[in-house]
Structure 1
Amino acid sequence: MVLIFISALLAWWYIPAVHAFIDRSVSAFLALDPHEIERFIHSYGRLAAVVSFLLMILQAIAAPLPAFVITFANASLFGAFWGGLLSWSSAMVGAALCFYIARVMGREVVEKLTGKTVLRSVDEFFERYGKHTILVCRLLPFVPFDPVSYAAGLTSIRFRQFMFATGLGQLPATVVYSWVGSLLTGGTFWLVSGLFILFALTIVIVAAKAFYQERQKRKS
């Protein structure tokens, strides 16, 4: 895993094509525009599915880039079923990669990738739900996907258990996002996307408030 990670960094530094691909990918992500992601993936023609797969892995490592924009783009390009399958399988590989990066490189590296505050929030889920944390977090739409994978790698959970819970827990959201993404276009697409983002932000704020109040109770 360390060799793969170093190889990827060297490729990004010394190979212009790899450097350009990552720069364009990050730019598309930061625009938070699913249609921009879709155009970017579609521009690679027959390699579009491979590019989408690599994008999902890139967003997994570079948390907290949003994964739902790729899921929407996959559904629009490849249909609800094949797009959903592509999103689900690539997210599984990304989760496995995050898990092993954390297990091999330790907490200090994970904190730099996710941020200390985010990682502490995920740690509280592990303290509360124990061995069921992975499944619970995957089923909750407001819990960030990738920090959970990193945090799991810092625990004693077995890789097999982690992957089973991840695959099962992320399936409902993948199905919903893929179905919605395959149906919506134009203004309706942006309306529903905005509602998804608003809903997620609302739940995040409520959850953060609940965590803060619970922490204050513990201190008092």
Structure 2
Amino acid sequence: MKKSQRFWMIGLYYLIAFILIAYFGHREIRDAINHSAQYLKNADVEGFRDYLLSFGSMAAVVSALVMVFQSIIAPLPAFVITFANGLLFGWFWGAVLSWSSAMAGAILCFYMAKIMGRPIVEKIVTKKALNWWDQFFAKYGKHAVFIARLVPIVSFDLVSYAAGVTSISFWQFFWATGLGQLPATILYSYLGQNATSTVKILFTIFSIVIALVVIGMILRPKFRTRGKGTKEQKDNGRKIR
């Protein structure tokens, strides 16, 4: 391990130790984290909005910290935070807050994977999930992150951690993540501002539509190749006749 890697590894361990001490040593912090996690698990957008309001002028900061927290540690649905931000801050500023805090979480995960290495990342996201990503990355290369970000059902955390142990550069990861998550962030923020009561239904419909669009984009070249092959076979058959 290089000297710089050892330095960042030690810093990472201290950060994890600080978070654990803060969580288990302070009841208020523990209760705050547990409450926010409960709202996210239940997809309770209005409840999470009210929870953020209880922090007053610090609401945006708490929202950003929760977004980063769920990106790094907890496998919780981030779309609830995005909906709640749209409801609380309006679709535009809610989208800005959700996008920037999700980017911060993604960047932290990416560099944590670089520092920790594949063996530790396998323990975080499981070896099976990382193997799936290896195949996905081998197939789509530098476009893999962008495609994965477009599909809401693909784990945000998995992509961030897994990309960190591939050959993809930081800037490729940065732009693919930023552009890939932008459409969903804007839409969720707008829907959060206008239609919170149907959040689960809207999220499911959007996920299915986006998944179908991305699958169509991926399979389109294959269908074109098959179509050309069939046409050539027909033309050859006509020539023989």
Which bracket does the TM-score occupy, shorter chain normalised? 0.7 to 0.9
Counterpart-to-counterpart distance in 2, 1:75 and 1:47? 16
**TM-aligned CA deviation for residue 201 of structure 1:** 7.0
Identical aligned pairs, as a percentage? 49
Give the CA deviation at 1:78.
0.2
CA shift, 1:132, in A, is 1.4
Shift of 1:199: 5.8
Q: Does the C-alpha gap of structure 1 residues 63 and 201 become closer, same or farther in structure 2, counting only changes over 3 Å?
A: farther
1:14 deviates by: 2.0
Count the aligned residue pairs.
Answer: 201
Alignment pair present for 1:66 and 2:77 = yes
**Aligned pair partner of 1:36 in 25, 47, 56:** 47
| Residue segments in structure 2 that go unaligned for 5+ positions in a row | 1-10, 216-241
User: Once the 2 structures are TM-superposed, how far is the Cα of residue 74 of structure 1 from its aligned partner?
Assistant: 0.1
Pair 1:193-2:200 in alignment: yes
TM-score (norm 1): 0.82
RMSD: 2.2
Do the aligned residues in 2 keep the contact of 1:63 with 1:113 (CA within 8 Å)?
A: no
| Structure 1 pair 175–198 and aligned structure 2 pair: CA distance change class (3 A) | closer
For residues 63 and 113 of structure 1, do their structure 2 counterparts lie closer, same or farther at Cα, with a shift above 3 Å needed? farther
The residue identity in structure 1 corresponding to 2:90 is G
Matched, 1:129 2:140: yes
State the secondary structure of the residue aligned to 1:157.
Answer: coil
Give the aligned partner of residue 25 of structure 1.
Answer: 36
Change (3 A) 1:117 1:195: farther
In 2, distance between residues paired with 1:64 and 1:84?
Answer: 21
Q: Write the distance in 1 (CA, Å) between the matches of 2:121 and 2:49.
A: 30
Give CA deviations for 1:133-181 in whole Å, capped at 9, x if unaligned.
Answer: 1111112233221110010111122222211211111111111111111
Deviation at 1:16, TM superposition (A): 2.6
> Take 1:8 and 1:108, find their aligned partners in 2: how far apart are those partners?
22
Deviates most, 111-120 or 21-30:
111-120
What is the TM-score when the length of structure 2 is the normalising length?
0.75
Q: Which has the larger radius of gyration?
A: 2
Match of 1:46 in 2: 57
Distance 1:61 1:80 in 2: 25
